[in-house]
Structure 1
């Protein structure tokens, strides 16, 4: 070896040793940074047990989606908090048999069942491309590099085999879930995909955050989920949706917000009927969201509405006796206590009017109980704030009824404008603290 070769050989060895030393110094720093990753919920859905839904709601049996051969589902989600890395939660919490997800991906949605090719990322689970969820189990994917802005739709696709019986679901608009035969998680454009009204298995999207955003979980029933709130173009407009938009538009605000909709239409506080009762699911659906800082509770109206009244029976079995004021307020107090024990701040919403619904749903006696519950709510000193939805939406000429400007037409659910008024009743300052 000549002199020049020996020089470069020694120089290369020295450089390699220097790089190796630098890498050894960087590894602890990289590990510390990975350990410091803070995940924050950006979108979530409150899961339901499909088999426990009343028959009128089981209109499109999920079992039929994977009747023969592999099937791929694509679900459109609307994140409320932006980030550069995401992870996706898959759930078999109500499953009775293992659920095998053969492959999965995430991308930006470009409308319908199509996604942006440049953003399509295959998901992994502990370094593997597939995962089997045991009955009752949930799992997060590994982090995937995907830049999302608040309000920018994402699409999660996953492949299952046949037969696959779906048990863990959430009702979504018909333009939010699609099903395609075959293996299609990495295909960008889906032709002839069949729509489904159900969200299957996917229950959460988190983003990695370098700061500490405010994660607000709106917890409730159909009035939280947003029934009746579509605008003139048919777009959904629940009060959590409109609150998220309002918070993003705050002038000069340095605080970032996520607003998670944990509403289930028909849900009760005290009893299982459509979805687990509020008390039963609060720990998972509200306090279990990543980085949760605030919870806005609005639930109890269905406990007043559904009781042992004539014509109200399921399969010939009478519904549970309508609870009294003390039972409803004790249930709300339990939720407040659970949240405060976890260091989560509580905003408590008053129950909206529903006069105008036909008997046996509305009566003077039920109105008296609603008013009593609201008096109890307004007197709370153990919550951060009371959001007086009742005062914001009631008819000035008849406070037992919704303002006609805010009524969707059924005298129970607000219209799009009504949900905007609900979002406007929330003081952003209460969410910054």
Structure 2
């Protein structure tokens, strides 16, 4: 792994010592990948959950691309919205091959307190024992979980942008899972798996820093290609990995700042999904478009749109809470969305009054001085000839979400020195 020049490394050490103190100083464990937990919704919701109500002696196999590698890994599971304890009968982790296949030589059993099985309390997370598996930067890891009969599926991450396999029996050690096998089905949701931590190769206390991104479907990657890791935080992770910086994605499709949407509001989940993640030194905030646009749609036909003052108060709280933990906060402007979601039940998502509020909010983000730095996604993504719309080459086609090209462009326009001050000192 490439390391920063001596001057930048010294600055990074100084920043780390004065920054957030929640990373374990003895071990250097950091969060290298996350999928923010959500409560599984009912069948009457606008979108299907794409997960079964229960798992019955089945294996769930999921693939996740981490950002930074490390000497050992830990797996974090979540029963955050479970009403009853959830048992894991057995679990494994391995370097991923193609599709559901694994590198058999890298297969490791996951244990919890020295035991192969464990029970996750209702509403709680579960952290595995350290696993002796050295992984490189940007490695794809496969995690397989075997759950017993009548395991209620209450906690998931709906828009995983990756295929997961649900197979009968204990297939945690299977070389691959055949999607054509009887009883096997796939989903693009994440089940139970919420984070992967790595033991940083950087000596404590100067553990590698983590940049967290909290947002909605634009961050979660709603229109990014499946199984390709092309969300904008994925591209940013690839840019930052050579500098020894990790990126975690705390986006939730349908997420909002002030009110619950397809997950808890950002103010409610900020501690769990950002501040409590080990190693976080910087957070990027790109959220608010659903607060502005859900009211008056099929999501919330009779709800009132928040005021500019209410939105500013919410952002101000996020900033204050992050600063109290020594975490820098980078604000990102909201991208254009004229004509969003045409031909869908949400075709009224865009309205001129909503866009006026977006532009007022963007003016505050740019000019208030409240953030430590600003990423002007609005300016980068809009069509110069029609600034209320996304550039055609960046548009996924729904006029709201960037496609792969748009995600890459947004990530590549970011000046890395804005995300971590030490990187600025590395410039010639």
TM-score class, shorter-chain normalisation, is 0.7 to 0.9
- In the alignment, structure 2 segments of 5+ residues that lack a partner are 1-23, 422-428
Runs of 4+ in 1 over 6 A off after TM superposition: none
Once residues 177 and 354 of structure 2 are traced to their aligned partners in structure 1, the CA distance between those partners, rounded to angstroms, is 50
Structure 1 distance, partners of 2:147, 2:280, is 31
Bigger helix fraction: 1
Q: Is 1:267–1:277's contact at 8 Å kept on the other side of the alignment? A: yes
Q: Contact 1:174–1:195 (CA<8 Å) still a contact in 2?
A: no
Q: Which of 148, 152, 163 does residue 135 from structure 2 map onto?
A: 148
Distance in 2, matches of 1:258 and 1:174, equals 19
Determine helix, strand or coil for the equivalent of 1:88.
Answer: strand
Give the counterpart of 1:221 among 205, 211, 216: 216
The question of whether the paired residues in 2 share the 8 Å contact of 1:53 and 1:274 is answered with no
- Which structure's CA Rg is the greater one? 1
How many pairs does the alignment contain? 385
| Corresponding position: 1:337 with 2:328 | no
Contact kept, 8 Å, 1:221 with 1:264, in 2: the verdict is yes
C-alpha distance after superposition, 1:76-120 (max 9, x if no partner): 111111112000001101000110111111111112211111111
Structure 2 partner of 1:197? 188
* Range 345-354 or range 106-115, more displaced: 106-115
SS in 2 for 1:262: strand
* 1:269-418 pair list within 5 angstroms: 269-307=257-295, 309=296, 312=298, 318-357=301-340, 360-418=348-406
Deviation at 1:73, TM superposition (A): 1.1
**Could you tell me which residue of structure 2 aligns to residue 36 of structure 1?**
26
Asked if the contact 2:65/2:140 (under 8 Å) is kept, the reply is: yes
TM-score by length of 1: 0.85
| 8 Å CA contact 2:29, 2:278 repeated in 1 | yes
User: What does residue 132 of structure 1 align with?
Assistant: 119
For 1:399 and 1:139, locate their aligned partners in 2 and report how far apart those are by CA, in whole Å: 46
- Cα–Cα, structure 1 residues 413 and 172, in superposed 2: closer, same or farther, change >3 Å? closer
Q: Distance in 2 between matches of 1:37 and 1:52?
A: 41
The secondary structure found in structure 1 opposite 2:368 is coil
2:169 pairs, out of 161, 174, 182, with 182
CA distance, structure 2, for counterparts of residue 288 and residue 52 of structure 1: 29
Q: State yes or no: 1:432 paired with 2:420.
A: yes
Question: Is the CA contact (8 Å cut-off) linking 1:312 and 1:319 kept in structure 2?
Answer: no
Task: Extract unaligned runs of 5+ from structure 1.
Answer: 1-33, 250-254
d(CA) in 1 for partners of 2:41, 2:359: 35
* Contact 2:46-2:299 at 8 Å conserved across structures: no
Aligned equivalent of 2:233: 240
The answer on whether the counterparts of 2:41 and 2:49 sit within 8 Å (CA) in structure 1 is no
Deviations 1:145-181 (A, max 9, x none): 1121122210111111111111110124575311121
Match for 2:200 among 197, 205, 209? 209
- Evaluate the alpha carbon distance shift between residue 361 and residue 172 of structure 1 in structure 2; reply closer, same or farther with a 3 A threshold: closer
Give the structure 2 partner of residue 3 of structure 1: none
Report SS of the residue matched to 1:224: helix
